[in-house]
Amino acid sequence: MLSRFQGYIDKNAEAAPLAVFRIFFGVMMFLSIVRFWSYGWIDKLYIQPRFFFSYYGFEFVKPLGSYTYLLFALCAMAALAVAAGYRYRLAIITFFLSFTYIELMDKTTYLNHYYFISLLSFLMIFLPAHRYFSLDVRLGYAKPVQYVPQWSLDSVKLLLGIVYFYAGLAKLNSDWLIHAMPLKIWLPSKFDIPFLGQWLQQEWAHYTFSWLGALYDLTIPFLLLYKRTRPWAFLAVVVFHVLTRVLFPIGMFPYIMIVSATIFFNAQWHHKMLSVLARLIRVNKAKCDNGLVMAPTKMQLAKIVLVPFFVLQLLIPFRHYLYPGELFWTEEGYRFSWRVMLMEKAGYASFKVVDKESGQRFYVNNADFLTPFQEKQMATQPDFILEYAHFLKQHFEAQGHKNLGVFVESYVALNGRRSRPYIDPKVDLTQQQESFKHKDWILPFEDEIKGL
Amino acid sequence: MVVRGVKKLWTLWVFMLMGAVACSDSDPSTEEPIDDFDRSEILVNWADNIIIPNYQDYVESLTDLKAAITTFGQTSSADLLADVREAWLEAYLDWQRVSMFEIGKAESVSLRNFTNIYPADIQKIDENINTGSYNLELPSTNDEQGFPALDYLLYGKADTDEGTVAILSTPAHKEYLQQLVERLHNLASEVLNHWTSGYRDTFVANNGSSATSSLNKLANDFMFYYEKSLRAGKVGIPAGVFSTSRLPEKVEARFSGKSKLLFLESLDAVQDFFNGTGSSNTGKSFAHYLDYLNTIKEGEDLSALINSQLNLARQKAEMLNSDFAAQIDDNNVSMLETYDELQKVVVLLKVDMFQALSIQVDFVDADGD
């Protein structure tokens, strides 16, 4: 057993796929940032709001005012450097840190996609992606090798596989499979999509999309692994992601996933790809095809870091079992678990500020403090509600009020169920503290969603 | 050979995708939807049966108000003052039936802000009248014009009708009255003309599902109006819901004491719009759309729930004093009870209805999962 594992660790593979992946990744990230910037989202999401929601333990990470643009510029330049393989290690570390910092600035914008990018860029810090077809090689900063350890390629495939497979597991629940929710809400509203629009009104279409979606997520990593099924699997990847792009506002993610899937291809494809690129930019790729194998001693740190990294990745999505109550309702353990597109959740929260001495009270106009986007996210997530309540206390106490309590009257509707009270309106939220413990002031869901 | 072909195919795919990335984000075309429920019918009903007729009524009553003020300007008398007041109330009531449609021209000229911002700044109004120098087109003069300014001049200048006539018949006051009604009339006519000379077709043709489609946009305008103008403005703010003390001086039409009448008209307008009820007949609106979607989803009968909650709120309001300010001074509890019933409608509309229709509240331009 151990020897088999050692045998695997020592196995080598062509470096070209990793180089292609590095180029795709860098270019996609660069385009994503340019797109984000050009839409004015930096200003809208990170500069205009007067309050930002922090991740527990990362309260110190805040936008940097107008320097936030510099942060994005740094991140974009790092992405380009990654693509070019220029000072790769420094570039990918800079990218990982700046990108993750951006994501930590306000959890309002949390997306599984962004979390995926943070994880992937962290993983790439430890991969020898710059030892083939890179500026580092050309400039002599790194020695070119034609072969790298097989596991460095496989670790990327593993991360991709986890994302898909866990997203598939999360779909094995009664709302998704039995009730075709939330697609039953989302699809009919896309009535104006050419050709597809008319079918999206039909119940059978909602079920077909739900079941095929779950099946796709669960099987695609394996179908991509096997040579026989690979061409069809890749076709499915393209169709699936293009379809999601047409139906939902999910930005660059579909394209990122499609190009990422090319890492599963045979190395010949990557060689061809790089030859075309080499001709375009007039360089000679042959220098890298030197038959050299990367020295195994180089990768000790990676082994130490990546084994616990992947163990954590396999465990974190299941942490919701540590909490009582319905996961979709409480969202305790919902993030960082590849639960995508599972919920249509809408809420309304109105906050009552009470002077506990005089008994005077008034309601807060959320628009005074939050953007519509923040208010929308806040209203359905208990940790947001709690943090905002503490902010309100601080804000009004700074205005001279004393001894304030903050209460919330809130309603949430989940996957087409009728709205119902969400947070216990009798609980003074300023007396509650954020922690990893269960929040017992979330009112019960009074329904059951069966499944994982 | 087959294998080679497959590989070429892959390369082709990747290059096509690179192209797709470069020119993504194309707007879905606005082809006619072909499904069981034609959403265009809602837009047609809104435009032809509700919005345009309501604006026509509104402009007509402003024309009457203008005439009454002109007559009063020629020979001032208590009888003619009564005519002006009557015409003012008529126009004010008609205003409640168009206020929520802050879309198109109404949005670009900020119709609501120049028509009905209260409480009016009475010091500023008196100053304007005395100095004769003012520019009512400036946004800073929102609270020096419109119906609240007329409310002050027609009801708030003196305790008796004779006293009011005496004050209003001075040239400076006559001039200001005239300016106020002219401005109201010009703005309303501009909006109505825009609807009848092309915008109606633009509005109806924008029948897609994007965030900027007519349905999504007007749904948000409707929600905004209900929450901010009706629930908060007419009831919540004066009842002290958002402050540490009651603010009866912030009721609508505080000098004439017509707040309840105006509120009920506004509530009727909201419910009629929800149900698609216009001046002549009832056509399609949110209620029917919800019923249609419910045949797919088999959930709660939302349109019935919303209607019965609106009726409950109306029943509460009908028991209030005709002057909300008096009610707040007298017994604010029933005012707050009315607010609570109105608040429940917000939850039904903003959470349940918007979810069912899959409309984003205040469209957020960002990516999703």
Nearest to B106 by CA among B49, B54, B48: B54
Q: Which residues pair with B282 in a beta bridge?
A: B277
CB contact under 8 A, B34 and A372: no
Q: Is residue A200 part of a domain?
A: yes
Q: Is residue A125 part of a domain?
A: yes
Three-class SS of residue A406? strand
Strands (E), chain B: none
Which residues of chain B have a CB within 8 Å of the CB of A334?
none
Phi and psi at B285, nearest 5°, equal -155, -160
A172 close to A452: Cβ distance less than 8 angstroms: yes
Instruction: Tell me what pLDDT residue A359 has.
Output: 87
CB contact under 8 A, A372 and B351: no
Q: Answer whether A448 touches B (CB < 8 Å).
A: no
pLDDT tens digits along A327-368: 999 999 999 999 999 999 999 999 999 999 988 899 999 999
Q: How far is B316 from chain A (nearest CA, A)?
A: 21
Query: Considering chain A, what percentage of its residues have pLDDT values greater than 90?
Result: 87
Q: Answer whether A269 touches B (CB < 8 Å).
A: yes
Alpha carbon distance A102, A112 (integer Å): 14
Choose, out of A224, A263, A348, A376, the residue to mutate when testing the contact with B (most B CBs < 10 Å): A348
Q: Answer whether A48 touches B (CB < 8 Å).
A: no
Nearest by CB to B369, from A111, A255, A262: name it: A111
CB contact under 8 A, A231 and B9: yes
ipTM summary value: 0.87
Q: How far is B78 from chain A (nearest CA, A)?
A: 44
Tokens of A3: 């020897």
Which residues of chain A have a CB within 8 Å of the CB of B35?
188, 191, 197-198, 200-201
Strands (E), A385-434: 404-414, 420-421
Return all residues near A276 (Cβ < 8 A) that are at least 6 apart. Answer: none
Alpha carbon distance A84, A62 (integer Å): 30
Q: How far is B166 from chain A (nearest CA, A)?
A: 43
- With 0-12 CB in 10 A as exposed, 13-18 as middle and 19+ as buried, what is A145? buried
Q: Is residue A400 part of a domain?
A: yes
Is there a single domain that holds both residue A285 and residue A373?
Answer: no
pLDDT in tens, chain B (369 residues): 344 444 444 444 444 444 443 333 333 333 333 346 778 899 999 999 999 999 999 999 999 999 999 999 999 999 999 999 999 999 999 999 999 999 999 999 999 999 999 999 999 999 999 999 999 999 999 999 999 999 999 999 999 999 999 999 999 999 999 999 999 999 999 999 999 999 999 999 998 888 889 999 999 999 999 999 999 999 999 999 999 899 999 999 999 999 999 999 999 999 999 999 998 889 999 999 999 888 777 677 899 999 999 999 999 999 999 999 999 999 999 999 999 999 999 999 999 999 999 887 765 566 776
Q: Which structural domain range is residue A303 located in?
A: 9-320
Nearest to B101 by CA among B200, B183, B32, B210: B200
Is there a single domain that holds both residue A22 and residue A150?
Answer: yes
CB contact under 8 A, B296 and A238: no
Return all residues near B202 (Cβ < 8 A) that are at least 6 apart. Answer: B104
Which residues of chain A have a CB within 8 Å of the CB of B17?
238, 255, 258-259
Nearest CA in chain B to A257: B17
Which residues of chain B have a CB within 8 Å of the CB of A259?
14, 17
Is there a single domain that holds both residue A255 and residue A403?
Answer: no
Is there a single domain that holds both residue A304 and residue A211?
Answer: yes
CB contact under 8 A, A111 and B367: yes
Is there a single domain that holds both residue A315 and residue A187?
Answer: yes
Q: Answer whether A23 touches B (CB < 8 Å).
A: no
Query: Considering chain A, what percentage of its residues have pLDDT values greater than 70?
Result: 99
pLDDT tens digits along A169-208: 999 999 999 999 999 999 988 888 888 888 898 899 999 9
CB contact under 8 A, A262 and B14: yes
Per-residue DSSP letters for A86-124? Answer: SSHHHHHHHHHHHHHHHHHH-GGG--HHHHHHHHHHHHH
Which residues of chain A have a CB within 8 Å of the CB of B356?
185, 416
CB contact under 8 A, B368 and A111: yes
Q: Answer whether B333 touches A (CB < 8 Å).
A: no
Q: How far is CA A219 from CA A222, A238, A263, A337, in A?
A: 6, 15, 17, 18
Instruction: Tell me what pLDDT residue B243 has.
Output: 92
Q: Is residue A339 part of a domain?
A: no
Of the candidates A288, A320, A352, which is a domain's last residue?
A320
Is there a single domain that holds both residue A13 and residue A127?
Answer: yes
Q: Is residue A87 part of a domain?
A: yes
Three-class SS of residue A214? helix
Mean pLDDT is lowest, of A45-54, A317-326, B276-285, for: B276-285
Is there a single domain that holds both residue A373 and residue A311?
Answer: no
Nearest CA in chain B to A417: B299
Q: Is residue A442 part of a domain?
A: no
Domains and CATH numbers, chain B: 36-207 (1.20.1420.20), 208-363 (1.20.1420.20)
Nearest by CB to B17, from A249, A259, A412: name it: A259
Q: Answer whether A193 touches B (CB < 8 Å).
A: yes
Q: How far is A113 from chain B (nearest CA, A)?
A: 7
Nearest CA in chain A to B297: A184
Alpha carbon distance A45, A47 (integer Å): 6
Mean pLDDT across chain A: 94
> How many contacts (CB atoms, under 8 Å) link A and B?
163
Is there a single domain that holds both residue A414 and residue A285?
Answer: no
Alpha carbon distance B106, B86 (integer Å): 25
Nearest CA in chain B to A28: B21
Q: Answer whether A165 touches B (CB < 8 Å).
A: no
* Pairing verdict, β A361-363 and A420-421: unpaired
Q: Answer whether A37 touches B (CB < 8 Å).
A: no
Q: What stretch of H or E contains A345?
A: strand A345-355
Nearest by CB to B369, from A45, A200, A340: name it: A340
Kindly tell me if the per-residue pLDDT of A218 is higher than 50: yes
Alpha carbon distance A213, A182 (integer Å): 13
Q: Is residue A336 part of a domain?
A: no
Which residues of chain B have a CB within 8 Å of the CB of A344?
355, 358
CB contact under 8 A, A253 and B296: no
Is there a single domain that holds both residue A142 and residue A244?
Answer: yes
Q: Is residue A215 part of a domain?
A: yes
* b/e code A286-312 from CB counts within 10 Å (16+ = b): eebbeeeebeeeebeebeeebeebeee
Nearest by CB to A231, from B6, B20, B359: name it: B6
Is there a single domain that holds both residue A229 and residue A93?
Answer: yes
Is there a single domain that holds both residue A360 and residue A231?
Answer: no
Helix, strand and coil content of chain B, in percent to the nearest 5, comes to: 70, 0, 30
CB contact under 8 A, B299 and A418: yes
Number of domains, chain A: 2
Is there a single domain that holds both residue A298 and residue A360?
Answer: no
CB contact under 8 A, B39 and A191: yes
- pTM comes to 0.89
